[in-house]
Amino acid sequence: MLNIIFGDIENSVYHPPTYFDNQYEDEWVTDPLSVEMIRDIDKSKVISPHLIESPVLGPISTKEISGGVKTLMLMAFDQSGKIFNASSCGDNCAKWIVEIGKRKELTINLHHVLDFSSAGQFDALMLNTGRMVHGYAEYLNEALGIKER
């Protein structure tokens, strides 16, 4: 289930990419979910836990993948109980956030209105108001109401 909270919250990691660089585990990188996210978001191929083949940068280390993918991997695999700032993700990560939320209980923190329009139908609990939203239009109405307060 996807839970979304806007604004600062205790136990959140404001800059997930830095946290990732110091906390990730090799098996996260080669997990099929990560391989697919890296292929989709970064247009890159996982060769090994420490080597990614980027069409733009050539061979890069795992620490050089995008901040969005790093944040998604933390959402998917980190077991610390921390809440990750999804504002470090681009809108192209939204469908993956929804997918991870379908696989596990996931709470994300936002500081902007992320565009979930490409995510298809989804359900999310808006923790600021306690309202359940069903799809992008309801999310957008709720998010804009929260941001205006």
Dump pLDDT digits (tens) for 59-100: 999 999 999 999 999 999 999 999 999 999 999 999 999 999
**Structural domain harbouring 73:** 2-24+66-148
Residue 50 lies in a domain: no
Higher pLDDT, 1 or 148: 1
DSSP code of 6? E
Alpha carbon distance 87, 1 (integer Å): 19
Dump pLDDT digits (tens) for 47-59: 999 999 999 999 9
Residue 105 lies in a domain: yes
Residue 25 makes CB contacts below 8 A (sequence gap 6+) with 77
Residue 99 lies in a domain: yes
The token duo for 142 is 């709720």
Q: How confident is the model at residue 146 (pLDDT cuts 50, 70, 90)?
A: confident
Q: How confident is the model at residue 147 (pLDDT cuts 50, 70, 90)?
A: low
Residue 46 lies in a domain: no
Residue 10 lies in a domain: yes
Number of domains in the chain: 1
Question: What is residue 148's predicted lDDT score, i.e. its pLDDT?
Answer: 53
Residue 113 lies in a domain: yes
